[in-house]
Structure formats: structure tokens, C-alpha cells
Amino acid sequence: MNSITLFILALLPIIWLIVAMSVLKIPGWKACLIALALTWVEARIFWKLPLLHTATAAAEGVANALWPIIIVILAALFVYNLTLETGAMEKIKAMLASVSTDKRVLALLIAFGFGNFMEGMAGFGTAVAIPAGILVGLGFSPLLSVVTCLVINSTPTAFGSVGVPVNTMANITGLNAAQIAGSTALIQLVIQFLIPFFAVIIIGEGFKALKGLIPFILIADLSFVIPEVLTATFIGPDLGDIIGAIVSMLVMILCAFKLPMAENETFRVENPGSGTDRLRAGEVFRSWAPFILIFLFLLLSSQIVPFIHDPLAQFNSPVKFYAGENPATLTFFWVNTPGVLILLAGFIGGRIQHAGFPTMFRVLGRTVRSNIKTILTICSVLAVAKIMGYSGMIGDIAKILVAATGSFFPLISPLIGTIGGFVTGSGTSTTALFGGLQVQTARAIGANQYWLAAANLMGAGLGKMICPQSIAIGSAAAGLEGAESKILSATIRYTLLFVVIAGLLCYGLPALGLV
């Protein structure tokens, strides 16, 4: 069988996912299960992968999905759902809304600052749904609120859900997670810097919205970007969004009160958050307690605190699932893993918020039940990725891509990630689908494999801006059911612009010797 035929056959599961989810509108979990079945059959028939090898490759993917990826997702969503149950989220919303009467400032604080915080903590749509809902509640245009949140929620996806996409890339490719995180922060730097300016232009309906606010935008922007890059580079992916967002929110709140800004009636909103004057320090702490504990637990258990990290990391089980040659070793960390630490922070924070254990376990059970389809989707996609990797399907795709594009492959590397983000609506699933492909192609053309892994992560976030799932979440949060096409047409121009910039950066910076 010639290489072109193998290339087409290897692409069939990916083509199926694009057609099934974009054209046929088949639910993601069903499309991914069918993709798994298709991949299984192809690996057995055309790549002659023995039955035991195929089964153990799929088992490795499922195990990798369950721990640590799904445990992180469920734990993060549990904490968010618990703050809804206890009423803490309403107090957090009111606190944020009380900072300013300038809609541009509030948009940056809520959509950029708090939205990035929610992406870092929970991800999976919370960073669009919650900020968009708050903005609409403050009287902002529903359409502009959703578009603003979708544009902002692009590049932070790479470090979302406590770094799950980057950690998944490390698990899939065997690359070092901290080095992937540093490369991702660097390759996203230009687009990440531009995003707050576009956010203000969108919410203010034109470039006129920048007038008099550029110093504040720069402060908000740099106070997120600098801590995010430093955290990703020197600590790792888990806290990139979280530390950047915390610093940015604190700086924005301080500047909103202290930095002189000319009143602009065009962008004035009534202040609905004045009721927070009655909140005492204890209530403020209780509202934020789970998030404060998550931050502390993750920071203290990271490698920058070795006397805590090292003893906890000893509780682990290395396992080899794949029965064929060169099996990967999955190491299950039973204590020092984000999912366990987030669950612990959630239960302690829930008690601080006066939630009883029956209530917390009920919320946890509801969180698991409501995300069964997400669990099936991620398990299926990781199984597909492992079968494609071990069978040689990804290698055959990479060979043709190298032959067709050669050294120019980095130009389309972010576009591949964008297609994955559009199809799956998930940085994690996109990483599972294309992470191995990007790294194998990088090796074949002599490119920096960390750089192309980072390009895939960046592209996934850009595709997520316009994916049906994200748009549906945003439209539901803003009460815009039926307006999905309007949201798409208003958002896609930014996706296309960012993809072009991403491709030029991905190719140009290494060519200039800057990477």
C-alpha cells in the first residue's frame, strides 16, 4: 500500500470528526466513540496492529484520560458548582461589579481578569459563561459580551483547567511539561498582548473606545502577561493563567480606584455592586476561600517548594499498559496531582462557606453525572491518539506533511491546532489528536519540537473561539439562543487574523534565530 493511500486512511478518523461535528452536528461524545471504532478497525486491518496491542494502546489512552486529566476537570467544576450552591459566586460577581462605572474597565476586569482566572481554575466553558452572564446582568450588549469573552478566552486555553492541555501534551509526546509551558507562553506573547485592546474595541464598538484608556489597558495587559510568562517558564503550566489573572485583577482594581481617568458618559454604566459595601472581610474571605486554597495548595506542592513536593511525589505508581515495543510509562501520582489537591481545597473551602458534607458530596455527584459525556469524549479521543501513535498512523500523516510542506510546515502548524480546536472545542482533545503529529513532524524537518507543540496549543485556543460548543455556551449564558450565526460571524474575523499572526510567528521567529 503506497504512502498516499496510508495518509488518506490515517486521516479518516480526523476527517470523520470534522464532518460529524461540523456538518452532521452529531454530539461530540458519539462522534468520538465512532472515531475510536474507526481507528481501531483501521489499525487492525491496514497497519496490522495485533489485537492485544490495539487493546492495550486504547487502555493506555483511557487511563491517561482518567488520571490526571478527568480528575482535574471534575475537581475544578466541583469547586465552581459548590460556590454556586453556597451563594459565594453571587458575592464574587457583586464585588467585581462594584469596582468602576466605566464599562470598558468592567469588561477588562470581568471578562479578561476574572475570565482568565476561571479558565485557569476550571476551564470547559466557565470562562465564557460566567463573565458573559455578569456583563449582560450589568446591562452590556449580549452579543458584544459573548464575542468579547470568546476572543479573550483564546490563548489562555493552553493553561486552562490547571494546565491540563500542556500536561496532556507532555503525556502524549514525552516532552518536558515545563519546557512546553515556557515555549507556549513565548509563542502566544504577541497575540496575548493584543487581546485586551481588541476586547475594549469590541465592547466599546470601535477604536473610539481606546480613547483615554490606553494606559489602563497596558497596565491590565502587562500585569497578566508578565506573571503568566514567568510562571509558565519557571514553575510550569498549572498556575500560568491563575497567577497572571490574580495579579492582573488586583492591579486593575487598584488602578481603577487610584489612576485618574477622565469620565466618559458614552461608556458609563450604573454601579450595581454598591451592596458589597456591607460585606465584611470575613465574608469576602469565605467567598474566595476555595480559590485561595487551590492557589496555595498548587503553589506549595510545586517544584519550587521541594521539601513539600518531593515527599508527596513519592506516592506514585508507574505503569506500562502497551503490550508492544517501546511502551510509554504512565506515572500515577496519587497525592501530588492537581485533581486531588483541588478536591481537597474544595471540601475545605466548602466547610469554610458552611456547606455540610452531605451537600458537598451531592454537588460532587451531580458534577460527575452531568459530565459523563465529557468523560466519554476525552477517554475516546485519548484512546484514538494512542492507537494512532502506536500503530504508525500519525507517522504516516507526518511523512506526507513533511513531503508537501518541508521546512515551511511551521506556517501551518497553528492552523492544524485551530482546526482541532474548532472540531473538538477543547484544548485537551486537540492536543490528544494532533500533539504527536506536530512533534513527529518537527523531528522530521529538524524543527524545535517544543515550538511546534506550543503552536498546536496556541492554535487550539484560537479554534475554540469559534467552535460550536463555545458559541452555544456563550449564547445560552447571554440569553441569545438562536443567534449562534451572528456570534460566529462577529468572532471569526479575529480567529482568522490571529491564525495568520500565529503562523508568521511560528515560522518567522525560529527563522530569525530568535527561538
- 64-108 tens-digit pLDDT: 889 877 887 788 889 888 998 999 988 888 887 788 888 899 999
Stretch 261-265: mean pLDDT = 69
- Whole-number Å distance between alpha carbons of 255 and 248: 10
Q: How confident is the model at residue 277 (pLDDT cuts 50, 70, 90)?
A: low
Beta bridge pairs of residue 316? 333
Q: How confident is the model at residue 231 (pLDDT cuts 50, 70, 90)?
A: very high
Using an 8 Å Cβ cutoff, are 452 and 410 in contact?
yes
User: Taking Cα atoms as reference points, which of 177, 223, 192 lies closest to residue 458?
Assistant: 192
User: Taking Cα atoms as reference points, which of 95, 220, 201, 209 lies closest to residue 148?
Assistant: 201
pLDDT single digits (tens) 24-56: 888 878 888 999 999 999 999 999 999 999 999
Task: Report the chain's mean pLDDT, rounded to a whole number.
Answer: 88
Of residues 99 and 345, more confidently modeled: 345
Stretch 328-335: mean pLDDT = 89
Per-residue model confidence (pLDDT) at position 399: 87
Per-residue model confidence (pLDDT) at position 453: 96
Which range has the top average pLDDT, 20-29, 174-183, 294-303?
A: 174-183
- Whole-number Å distance between alpha carbons of 110 and 149: 9
Stretch 272-283: mean pLDDT = 64
- Lowest-pLDDT choice from 42-56, 250-264, 280-294, 490-504: 250-264
Maximal CA-CA distance, the chain: 74
Of residues 124 and 293, more confidently modeled: 293
Whether the CA torsion 282, 343, 152, 24 is positive or negative: it is negative
DSSP H or E stretch at residue 316: strand 316-320
Q: How confident is the model at residue 294 (pLDDT cuts 50, 70, 90)?
A: confident
- Whole-number Å distance between alpha carbons of 409 and 442: 8
Which range has the top average pLDDT, 157-166, 170-179, 355-364, 410-419?
A: 355-364
pLDDT above 80 for 381: yes
Length of the chain: 515
User: Taking Cα atoms as reference points, which of 235, 31, 209, 189 lies closest to residue 105?
Assistant: 209
Q: H helices then E strands: how many in the chain?
A: 25, 2
- Whole-number Å distance between alpha carbons of 446 and 256: 48
Grid cell locating 333: 501520582
Please give the span between the terminal C-alpha atoms of the chain, in angstroms, as a whole number. 39
pLDDT single digits (tens) 487-511: 888 999 999 999 999 999 999 999 8
pLDDT above 60 for 471: yes
* Strand 316-320, strand 329-333: pairing: antiparallel
pLDDT above 80 for 364: yes
pLDDT above 80 for 132: yes
Whether the bond into 68 is cis, omega within 30 of 0: yes
Helix, strand, coil percent values for the chain (each to nearest 5): 80, 0, 20
- Give the number of C-alpha atoms closer than 13 A to the C-alpha of residue 276, restricted to the C-beta side: 19
Q: How confident is the model at residue 368 (pLDDT cuts 50, 70, 90)?
A: very high
Per-residue model confidence (pLDDT) at position 262: 64
- Whole-number Å distance between alpha carbons of 449 and 184: 12
Give percent of the chain with pLDDT exceeding 70.
97
Using an 8 Å Cβ cutoff, are 109 and 100 in contact?
yes
The secondary structure of residue 102, as a DSSP letter, is: B
The secondary structure of residue 302, as a DSSP letter, is: S
- Lowest-pLDDT choice from 275-284, 433-442, 448-457: 275-284
pLDDT above 90 for 478: no
Q: How confident is the model at residue 270 (pLDDT cuts 50, 70, 90)?
A: low
Beta bridge pairs of residue 268? 102
Stretch 336-340: mean pLDDT = 86
Concatenated DSSP letters for 176-221? -HHHHHHHHHHHTHHHHHHHHHHHHHHHTTSGGGGTTTHHHHHHHH
pLDDT above 70 for 276: no
User: Taking Cα atoms as reference points, which of 459, 419, 406 lies closest to residue 169?
Assistant: 459
pLDDT above 70 for 279: no
Per-residue model confidence (pLDDT) at position 278: 63
CA distance to 138, 210, 281, 439, 487, per residue, from 254 (Å)? 21, 20, 17, 43, 33
Q: Side chain identity at 408, as an amino acid letter?
A: F
Residue 304 DSSP SS3 = coil
Residue 330 DSSP SS3 = strand
Per-residue model confidence (pLDDT) at position 176: 93
Stretch 335-356: mean pLDDT = 92
